[in-house]
Amino acid sequence: MAMIPHSPLASNLPAQERILVIYTGGTIGMQQQADGLAPGGDFATRMATALSQLPITQQQSLPSYKVVSYAKLIDSSAATPLTWQQLARDINEQLTAYAGFVIIHGTDTLSWTAASLAYQLQGLDRPVVITGSMLPLESQGSDALDNLQGALQFAAKPELQEVAIYFAGQLLRGVRTIKQHSEAPNAFASPNYPLLGERVGDDFIYYPSRGLGLQQRGAPRFELPDYRLVNHGEIVRIALWPGIAAWQLDAWLSDSRVKGATLQLWGAGNLPGDPRVLDVLARASGEGKLLAAISQCPQGSVHLGAYAAGHGLSDAGVLAGDDMTPEAAFTKLAHLLAQPLALEDQQQLFLTSLVGER
């Protein structure tokens, strides 16, 4: 898929604008076309019109903001690692001009973008809040207005110093979030980490003891590697199923183009009893491929070797992903493999919590 063209983020944007809103597309901005819903333009005007429907006291509490749009708007199912890279670089370029950022994004891969941005924007010293909606902005009963309002409110809180998702009244750590429902307004959840904040009545409450702001020191230490190195299938995601055969696993992992894999195992990290499956993993790891294991269960952690069915995984070179989400594990592999690091350093960094992802 083609990379999103560089957004028109001009260097002369007024510095007094507090929040920069970056519109990438998604359901929130879609309008009816001949062949169905498709991303629509003029989002700045449409967003202002929607916000003007709020009670006057709520309008007055909103921060000032500036909206920019990508030249090519997408359904988020078309996002790629290059989309993640473009967003991180645009935020980096505009960092000192704005107190916070809101990214308007489609919901299908919103949590993937959030996880990737967390790794690229390590040491972030201001809010980056990602939101979208389940229904288009102008649709009756849409959740878009509530989500836009909350994202702006939290993006104006300087104590929030990480990438977060605001959706359905909840502020979630971006690198801890999954999309759990394809239709309900509360489509996102953070199964292994508490809320960073939430809406209570007309107030937007941030819980600083749960955020990264208390843990981070010094200037941002952004890592912006070239994601073109991981944009052509170099990392695979494999969820086990009953009856999986070693040859099927080998078909993925023996391909010379594959550099890493997220393995979604059963329960606490269990495999089929076939020793040939472990042989495939050990051979791939021995070839320098980065293999990480997480659970298929949305809650809880893997504990490699806790059961006999998982014995030998660590010896085969498989890294434990603890309680990481699939999005967090996959995007972390992509981030590490995009950098010129020795395998041992990649392995150690994967096992280290970089942005509160594990």
User: Is 81 strand, coil or helix?
Assistant: helix
Q: Which of 27, 107, 177, 325 is catalytic?
A: 27
**CB-based contact 281:289 (threshold 8 Å):** no
Torsion of CA 92, 95, 96, 100, to 10 degrees: -170
Do the strands 65-74 and 100-104 form a parallel or antiparallel pair, or are they unpaired?
Answer: unpaired
| Sequence-distant (≥ 6) Cβ neighbours of residue 263 within 8 angstroms | 238, 240, 281, 291, 292, 293, 294, 318
Is there a catalytic annotation at residue 107?
no
Radius of gyration for the alpha carbons in the chain, expressed in angstroms and rounded: 21
Sign of torsion over alpha carbons 265, 305, 292, 279: negative
Identity of the residue numbered 84: W
**CB-based contact 127:121 (threshold 8 Å):** no
Which tokens sit at 210?
Answer: 């749960």
Which tokens sit at 122?
Answer: 């390590």
Which tokens sit at 232?
Answer: 């052509």
**CB-based contact 261:238 (threshold 8 Å):** yes
Active-site residue list: 27
